[in-house]
Chains A and B, each alone.
Chain A
Amino acid sequence: MDSSSLVQYILTGLAQGGLYALVGLGFVLIYNVTGIINFVQGEFVMLGAMLAVTYERMGLPLPMVIVLAVLSVALIGAGLEVISIRPARRATPLTLIIITIGLSLAVRGIALLIWGTDPLVIPAFSGTEPIKILGGALMPQQIWIMGATAVSVLALYIFLDLTVMGKAFRACVINKMGASLMGISPRRMSTLAFALGAAIGALGGVVFAPTLASYDMGVALGVKGFVAAVLGGLTSVPGVILSGFIVGIGESFGTAFISSGYKDAISLFILLLVLLVRPQGLFGIYGGKRV
């Protein structure tokens, strides 16, 4: 193998990993605030992609398509939280997780009725001429995906660390009771978490829409994002981002050096291996605080 092939494996891994990281980020955000592993996360990605197709076909310009799709899905995320999670919030986390699984089936079913089963796409944002990097090739759209991951992390950092609302959000994560006595409503924060998680997922879906928008795409992406989130320890933002890239690169190199038929097995194998050695994930705090 020459060095350009090696570069290509890394680029392929980074491009896929960026998307996994973005999906995983939504899992982490919602888990931190609500203690729920939200299996609707993959469907938020799907809705982002589907709505991008719909808005694009209405003839809206690209920036509008992106903003509208993200906002719409954020509203849907908040709405789902209010109608399904909030009324059941005294239930055990397991019950809540089961509710999210039911919700994801429902969302997928509704998407099937609205958009049908054909895979849809929108035009790539910046053309389809590959960009050469050190002998490897990247599609401009893959750079959009990595950019979206970077923007999400940056926006999340600004929100959590530099705004009072963000601090209130973190306070709710660290100490729910203390926060509510400070006048911070955990219910409101839970809704906010779902809105933010949905928005991040939707952004991933929108930048992925030139590759695929299909009613059942959320399942596969949801699983990869979940693996990245668990690998990263479920609570850590840097952890999930790094883990997303680890999974992406692991798959790419697994294809190259083991067998291309085991790509999906590789990410699960990485997860199992890490959980056996470090049950708390790569970056988690063992027995860490959960709210």
Chain B
Amino acid sequence: MLLEVNNLGKSFGGVKALQGVSFSFAQGQIGSLIGPNGAGKTTLFNLLTGVFPPSSGEIHFRKQLLNGRSAVQISALGIARTFQNLQLFTNMSVVENVMVGCHSHTKTGLLGAAFRLAARQEEKQIRKTSLEMLDKVGLLAYANYPADALPFGQKRLLEIARALAMKPEMVLLDEPAAGLNPTESRFLVDLIKRIRSEGTSVILVEHDMETVMELADKIVVLDFGEKIAEGTPVEITRNDRVIEAYLGREVEQPA
């Protein structure tokens, strides 16, 4: 298994955001986390990427224990992510944002970079890779725009490009379709399929059921911080607890 989560819990000052959550995702899959608002999906992402440590339980990624590792160390193991509320480097250009994602793959040390000795060739390579990433998400034409100037939907795509620039084993996408128009959504679905076909595993937090059902190989359903179901899209749609707790209760999508 690529990712194994065992009995994971997180509480914030007595409030239990997550408890006893266990599941696993296999290599090359698109997994999806769904659940109503406040179910603990983003908390789970934050635990997976080391933003804060779990209160209990274990996370294994590629057979390595993630507990106790910092965000920097976890990213080096091959987990990249995007954010529900965007975390772009606003004062930089579009392509620079992606180049920062490549940072972890630079070989030249601090002094080398400072004095630009061996760094030149590497710089060129990184810029080239970054432009390819932008091409992949359809933002090549905006490479030198300030990141702040992009419309919302394209900022989401830029975050994905930046995450992919890290050449991760697994990429976590936090509500990538939120705020996108139908054309953009369509493009996103194709993009995620392409990411999987190139060998990168994906975990998706998404409210848009249509997108999830089309993409996911496996779905984990959370409610009030606990896992209530796990299975293929077909299994999930037939699961009584899911229908009762989630689909039945919250037919309308949040704005």
Contact = CB atoms under 8 A, between A and B. Distances in A.
Is any CB of A less than 8 Å from a CB of B in the complex?
yes
B101 A182 contact: yes
Contact of B75 (A159, A183, A195): A183
Contacts of B72: 180, 183-185
A166 interface: yes
B102 A164 contact: yes
Given A164-B106, A182-B103, A183-B72, A171 B113 contact: no
What's the interface size class on B, roughly?
A: 35 or more
A178 B87 contact: yes
B91 interface: yes
A179 B100 contact: yes
A167 interface: yes
Interface string B43-63: 000000111000000000000
B64 interface: no
**Helix, strand, loop or mixed for chain B's interface?**
helix
A183 B80 CA distance: 9
Contact of B103 (A159, A167, A174, A196): A167
Interface stretch (B21-29, B118-126, B189-197, B199-207): B118-126
Consensus secondary structure, chain A interface:
helix
A4 interface: no
A170 B71 CA distance: 18
Given A179-B89, A183-B166, A185-B72, 5 more contacts: A164-B100, A175-B89, A180-B75, A181-B80, A182-B162
23 contacts: A159-B114, A162-B123, A164-B100, A164-B102, A164-B113, A165-B103, A165-B106, A165-B108, A165-B119, A168-B100, A168-B103, A171-B97, A175-B88, A175-B89, A175-B90, A178-B87, A180-B71, A180-B72, A181-B49, A182-B103, A182-B162, A182-B166, A196-B114
Interface of B: 49-51, 70-72, 75-76, 80-81, 83, 87-92, 96-97, 99-104, 106, 108, 110, 113-114, 116, 119, 122-123, 126, 162, 166
Interface of A: 158-159, 162-168, 170-171, 174-175, 177-185, 188, 192, 195-196
